[in-house]
């Protein structure tokens, strides 16, 4: 494997800017250090007496500190020997064996390795910037993350602060060619494994759906049965039919919403939103043809997966097709004049992500479903703070100058 060392060297300038911005605010509350200099291997340090061992003494001059980082993304992962408790026991033992004087425990429970906005990662950076640690100890490098570029960038930030990442198998110094190659292979393996598991999960969910096990949100007007599939809710019969009838008459989601909420307020547990009206109009489940759809299924199978079940139909095929045709025309109407529409991605590349906050009345629209997106936190990217956007309709996230973020 030939490594592009120049690319990683180019990250150095970005790292300096990023760290300045990251710690410009008041410091967050950080974990308290534990003095483990007198603890010994095999002793938890909770009331039991120290025993004589050959464990090396800590370097009194450097007063070495270590952050042990624990992460699990799912309960299933915990069941297979990766629980937080299991990681902590192994890492405490390793920290004592290596002779560290101070220990900081940092953990992220239930956090995906593809999410680099984890609280724990931020705490580690603050500990590093305060010169409180010189090593981050993990059971394996995939605890840091399962995205090659993001993981290397994070490791680079730590290295600029004089902090190395050490797994149970040894330290990783990306300042050397050997260390960089090793880290790249490990992080890439973690990313590929994550993609493989995602693909397997999608295939499993689609197969389960085809066998009539409902594994996505239950749509309005249906109830989930004991066997895992759905059935019509009799209380919604007239509501759904009136939604389609009114939409065919008015061609306006907002009007349908107001009329339905007024006429069926005794039936509806909550008033319908405009988006929920649109979802009813466009979802083929209401004609007895529920689908497992989305980019994931199309990429894996080349199409949406449809299950025929006419017992779920509220309206006939003709009514559904007419309503969907009107919906398409509405979408086309508001998609016209693209030559006058600003491409947000190009705008951000030219002027920076903050430009989206400066233009009055600008709205970031979801390319996936066409609905308006809302702000959803920030992330430091390419040396600047970047605003995340979330589509409440399809749950997709978007970050300027980045690809789609997973559901």
Q: Assign 3-class secondary structure to the chain.
A: CCCCHHHHHCHHHHHHHHHHHHCCCCCCCCCCCEECCCCCCCCCCCCCCCCCCCCCCCCCCCCCEEEEEEEECCHHHHHHHHCHHHHHHHHHHHHHHCCCCEEEEEEEECCCCCCCCCHHHHHHHHHHHCCCCCEEECCCHHHCCCCHHHHHHHHHHHHHCCCEEEECCEEECCCCHHHHHHHHHHHHHHHHHHHHHHHHHHHHHHHHHHCCCCCCCCCCCEEECCCCCEEECHHHHHHHHHHHHHHHHHCCHHHHHHHHHHHCCCCCCCCCCHHHHHHHHHCHHHHCCCEECCHHHHHHHCCCEECCCHHHCCCCHHHHHHHHHHHHHHHHHCCCCHHHCCCHHHHHHHHCCCHHHHCCCCCCECCCCCCECEEEEEEEECCEEEEEEECCCCCCEECCCCCCECC
Average confidence (pLDDT) per 10 residues, the chain, 407 residues? 49 56 54 64 39 37 79 65 85 91 91 88 92 92 90 90 87 78 88 83 84 92 95 96 96 94 93 93 95 69 83 96 93 62 56 54 65 70 63 69 41
359 plus 316 within the same structural domain: no
Instruction: Classify residue 52: in a domain, yes or no.
Output: yes
Q: What is the CATH number of the domain that holds 243?
A: 3.90.1750.20
161 plus 287 within the same structural domain: no
Owning domain of residue 103: 5-196
272 plus 376 within the same structural domain: no
Tokens 């920076």 correspond to: 352
Instruction: Classify residue 202: in a domain, yes or no.
Output: no
Instruction: Classify residue 359: in a domain, yes or no.
Output: yes
Q: What is the CATH number of the domain that holds 361?
A: 2.20.25
219 plus 315 within the same structural domain: yes
Of 333, 368, 388, at which residue does a domain stop?
333
162 plus 238 within the same structural domain: no
Q: What is the CATH number of the domain that holds 44?
A: 3.40.50.1390
Instruction: Classify residue 203: in a domain, yes or no.
Output: no
223 plus 155 within the same structural domain: no
173 plus 192 within the same structural domain: yes
| The 397-398 sheet, strands edge to edge | 374-381, 384-390, 397-398
230 plus 87 within the same structural domain: no
Of 310, 333, 356, at which residue does a domain stop?
333
Of 301, 333, 365, at which residue does a domain stop?
333
Cβ 187 vs Cβ 154: under 8 Å: no
User: Which residues, 6+ apart, have CB-to-CB distance to 114 below 8 Å?
Assistant: 145, 146, 147, 150, 194, 406
344 plus 316 within the same structural domain: no
294 plus 218 within the same structural domain: yes
pTM of the model: 0.50
First to last CA, the chain: 33
Instruction: Classify residue 205: in a domain, yes or no.
Output: no
Cβ atoms within 10 Å, residue 291: 16
Instruction: Classify residue 404: in a domain, yes or no.
Output: no
Instruction: Classify residue 308: in a domain, yes or no.
Output: yes
| The 135-137 sheet, strands edge to edge | 34-35, 102-109, 65-72, 135-137, 164-167, 170-172
HSE at residue 347, side-chain half, CA atoms within 13 A, is: 14
Instruction: Classify residue 405: in a domain, yes or no.
Output: no
Distance CA 306, CA 290 (A): 6
Cβ 313 vs Cβ 286: under 8 Å: yes
222 plus 132 within the same structural domain: no
Can you give the pLDDT at residue 382?
Answer: 53
323 plus 219 within the same structural domain: yes
Q: Positive or negative, the Cα torsion across 84, 89, 94, 99?
A: positive
Domain count, the chain: 3
């Amino acid at each position: 494997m030939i490594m592009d060392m120049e690319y990683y060297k180019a990250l150095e300038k970005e790292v300096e800017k990023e760290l300045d911005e990251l710690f410009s605010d008041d410091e967050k509350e950080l974990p308290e250090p534990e003095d483990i200099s007198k603890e010994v291997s095999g002793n938890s340090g909770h009331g039991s007496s120290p025993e004589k061992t050959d464990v090396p003494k800590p370097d009194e001059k450097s007063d070495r500190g270590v952050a042990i980082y624990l992460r699990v993304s799912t309960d299933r992962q915990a069941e297979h020997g990766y629980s937080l408790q299991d990681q902590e026991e192994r890492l405490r033992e390793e920290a004592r064996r290596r002779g560290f004087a101070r220990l900081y425990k940092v953990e992220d429970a239930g956090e995906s390795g593809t999410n680099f906005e984890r609280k724990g990662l931020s705490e580690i950076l603050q500990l590093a910037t305060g010169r409180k640690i010189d090593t981050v100890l993990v059971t394996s490098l995939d605890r840091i993350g399962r995205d090659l570029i993001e993981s290397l960038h994070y490791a680079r930030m730590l290295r600029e602060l004089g902090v190395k990442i050490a797994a149970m198998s040894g330290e990783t110094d990306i300042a050397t060619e050997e260390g960089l190659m090793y880290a790249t292979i490990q992080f890439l393996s973690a990313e590929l494994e994550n993609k493989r598991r995602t693909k397997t999960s999608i295939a499993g969910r689609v197969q389960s759906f085809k066998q009539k096990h409902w594994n996505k949100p239950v749509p309005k007007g249906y109830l989930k049965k004991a066997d895992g599939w759905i059935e019509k809710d009799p209380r919604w019969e007239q509501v759904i039919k009136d939604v389609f009838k009114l939409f065919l008459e008015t061609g306006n989601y907002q009007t349908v919403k107001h009329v339905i909420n007024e006429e069926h307020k005794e039936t509806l547990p909550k008033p319908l939103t405009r988006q929920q009206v649109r979802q009813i109009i466009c979802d083929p489940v209401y004609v007895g043809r529920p689908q497992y759809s989305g980019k994931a299924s199309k990429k894996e199978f080349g199409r949406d997966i449809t299950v025929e079940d006419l017992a779920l139909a509220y309206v006939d095929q003709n009514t559904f097709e007419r309503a969907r045709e009107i919906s398409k025309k509405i979408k086309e109407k508001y998609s016209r004049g693209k030559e006058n529409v600003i491409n947000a991605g190009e705008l951000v590349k030219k002027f920076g992500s903050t430009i989206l906050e400066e233009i009055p009345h600008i709205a970031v629209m979801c390319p996936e479903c066409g609905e308006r997106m809302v702000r959803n936190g920030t992330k430091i990217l390419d040396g600047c703070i970047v605003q995340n956007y979330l589509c409440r309709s399809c749950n997709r996230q978007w970050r300027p100058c980045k690809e789609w973020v997973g559901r």
